[in-house]
Chains A and B, each alone.
Chain A
Amino acid sequence: MTLNWKLGGLLLGLVFFGAVLLVKPIGVSTQFVILDAIVGNTVNPELITQTDDGYTSSNAYLAKSGGKYAKNAANPLNYSFVFVLAMALGAFLSAMARGGVGVDERRLPAIWYANYGDTPMKRYAVAFLGGFIVLYGARLAGGCTSGHMMSGMMQTAISGYIFAAGAFAAAIPTAMLLYRKEG
């Protein structure tokens, strides 16, 4: 069901190469900010404002770097945002083509069941908290597993190595502590 690592690694490498050949390196986590900004601007239309030479925001983060985040949130039909939507579509079609994710797995991953039994609420709470820390950390770092670890190290960016060191230094002990039994 899962591709052999040699074929899978080659295909993933080709996608990362194709992205930098045709457009720019792959990144995902910024689009969480863009979606937040789109929602925020719907609730409070004064969040993003148009200026003579572009866009700015009452939020300092959206306004940084000449308001590029504010600009993308004001125009969601841009490369990076559509990329993430297409990524979701690609994953959906691929999962469907191999018969879909099983009912039990969709409700609760095996590794969670093996360690904590049939406790979906606890699992969803951990997934929510995990998501919070992941995106807060990714924005502090300026990128995530895609942008820093994969695209970054591929380009020999020092920031990519620093990020990967930090991510694995925390991830391995955390996983060992939380998931003592294999799924």
Chain B
Amino acid sequence: MSSIVLAIVIGAAFGAVLDRIGATNPNWIGKMLTLTNLHLMKTILLAIGTGSVLMFGGQMLGLVEVGHMSVKTAYVGVFIGGLMLGAGWAAAGYCPGTGVCAAASGRKDALFFIAGGLLGAAAYMVTYPAWKATGMLEGEKLTLGAVPGTDYPAFLNISGDVLGIVMGLVFVVIAFALPERLRGMGEAVAPAE
């Protein structure tokens, strides 16, 4: 039962923050992906960095249960699926979480996104055996470094928690270093048409 309470509290906080940072707004997603306004990209990078530093730092201090980590398998299908998700994300302006949040905040197109998503997920359920037969779903749950207290295979043979903090800081630095926009309005040189 307590896990349900946690689901409600963390879930509601997640939905509220997604709403407040503009991630549930297809206009902000469009600006980010056309590189005309990177505000949301900076937000996301800072969030990944913050989460990483706190999680690995907490693990090193013994405050965070290492067993709560859940690393997904790396396989060829991750990249192919990523390409597909990226194309749909750009076209619709929603990803699975933000689409649900956008529908909840009253956006009508997000309801169509969810309907399409349910059909897409069902299509995958039906075609899963064909993907499995290709071997493209085979892989390992690799982490960048060796994380103490886990048995995830490491990509590099170095301390995974220190590396996790370093990577987190790299994300924070990139978040600060990224300009507000890479192209579009205010550009000195017009792009070749």
- Chain A interface (Cβ < 8 Å from any Cβ of B): 2-3, 5-6, 8-26, 28-29, 32-33, 35-37, 39-40, 59-62, 64, 77-80, 82-95, 98, 100-101, 105-112, 120, 123-160, 162-172, 174-176, 178-179, 182-183
Contact = CB atoms under 8 A, between A and B. Distances in A.
B70 to A, nearest CB: 5
A interface SS class: helix
Contacts of B160: 156
Interface of B: 3-4, 6-22, 24-28, 30-31, 33-37, 39-40, 42-52, 54-55, 58, 64-65, 68-75, 77-110, 112-126, 128-129, 131-132, 139, 141-145, 147, 155, 160, 163-164, 167-168, 171, 175, 184-185
Nearest to A178: B91
B47 A128 contact: no
A8 B100 contact: no
Nearest to B85: A137
A159 B78 contact: yes
Contacts of A62: 125
B69 A155 contact: yes
A91 B120 contact: no
B184 A182 contact: yes
A180 to B, nearest CB: 8
A111 B77 CA distance: 31
Contacts of A80: 7
A159 B58 contact: no
Contacts of A108: 109
B190 to A, nearest CB: 14
A180 B30 CA distance: 10
Nearest to A125: B112
